[in-house]
Chain A
Amino acid sequence: MKHFLVISKGTEYIRIPADQLVYISADGNYSEIVTHDNRKRIVTIQMGQLADMITNQLGEAGDDFARIGRSLIINRNFLHSIDSAKQQIVLSDCCGCYYELKAPREALAGFKAYIEEVDKNERGR
């Protein structure tokens, strides 16, 4: 079943396949949604509301998304590398889609530990 994130506000209606949404970043009053085709769309919805929309609309598919700090939501399926010392997270499909993003050190360190634990559990199955 295909899952979509639907944003309907004012005169605008946006429908994004969950598996094509790479990340969302916040800048001031705006949030920028970046999709796999390298398109960027700015919406006047704050991060907390977008995080709620992902949780409420995508169901289990929402588990693929993680909020890291106040200003970044990523799709974990595109996670390529984390370097908490450099405060850097890279999202890539190793096939033309590549984004280097900045995130707070503490949040990245916690997220890295979580991902390592998930990987370990999956390998143990």
Chain B
Amino acid sequence: MNEVDNFRDDEFRVLGHHDTKSPVPGEPTRRTRLAASIVSAILVIALGVLAIVFWPKEKPVSPSNRNSENAEIKQHSERTNVESSIFSTETNASYTERIDTTVNGLSVSIYIPHNATAELMVGKPNIADKDIILIAQAADIRGDNYRILGAFILKGEPLSWGRSREGYCAIIDGEITVGTSENSPLFEKATETEGYFFRQFPMVTDGTVAKTAQNNETRRKALCSRNGQVFIATTAEPAYFDDFAQALAALGVDNAISLVGSSTAFGWYINAAGEHIQFGEDIHKYENENYILWRQ
């Protein structure tokens, strides 16, 4: 099993009992791979230090907006008020700022919503809804019964239960919390306050890359919080989960969970010029497809 899981994109293999593995010319040895891993790790650390040093230090989020969760329940999270964004400019315009960067050789796009409030929705989004300035698919859909995977609350109403994924996002009174916890009191709080809640794979927990069983390569998306700022980050090309998580940690992200990835995952954003820019494909296979969105 492990041998198959380590399958690379430049290999082919005849399956069955024949089980022929491709002799790839110039295939790196274990030693060269180990050396490459060490060099990559050093680069990640160096870039992480640079990111921390050079990332713009904005004014701190007021303590009232910070995480005030029940201390008896050990969890890692970052809470922010989306309406007091640290990236906010003097304008009151609602739009999504896009920043393209490269970390560890990985092209990453960051989408920062301004002057907007987050919520979740289920079903096909209305592409003509001009109030939505950023939208992306949130929780995965189960392959067996096509229901939402993991706990999900829509405006106080639980639609799905489950803790198979420890990452979570809660939206309570317009405040987003991204974190990692098996048991979050924010699930109950979301039901009491007409809030929102969903679960996904944790990618970064308190600045540390989270462990995962994910080892496939695809276009990745993540919901991130950094110094109280919540944004969506995506990879421009297919990437491994760990590589993307390490890139986010190197960018100084405090907490991040994955969002529905792949090149087809639908969504859009409105930029500062008011242009509607779509990502993914406007194809909707499942009635339970769900989205996190920011509305002006």
Contacts and interface: CB of A to CB of B under 8 A. Distances in A.
Given A11-B144, A70-B7, A49 B12 contact: no
Interface residues of A, number: 44
A29 B140 contact: yes
Given A47-B7, A71-B216, A65 B142 contact: no
Contact of B5 (A29, A48, A66, A71): A48
Given A28-B216, A69-B11, A114 B17 contact: no
A110 B11 contact: yes
B232 to A, nearest CB: 16
A46 B28 CA distance: 25
Task: Pick the most buried of A61, A104, A106: most chain B CB atoms within 10 A of its CB.
Answer: A106
Nearest to A44: B143
Contact of A70 (B8, B16, B261): B8
Contacts of B17: 55, 59-60, 62-63
Query: How big is chain B's contact interface, by range?
Result: 35 or more
Contacts of A49: 1, 4
Given A51-B4, A61-B16, A106 B144 contact: no
Contacts of B217: 70-71
A70 B216 contact: yes
B75 interface: no
Task: Pick the most buried of B9, B19, B265: most chain A CB atoms within 10 A of its CB.
Answer: B9
Contact of B15 (A26, A66, A114): A66
Interface in B186-222: 214-218
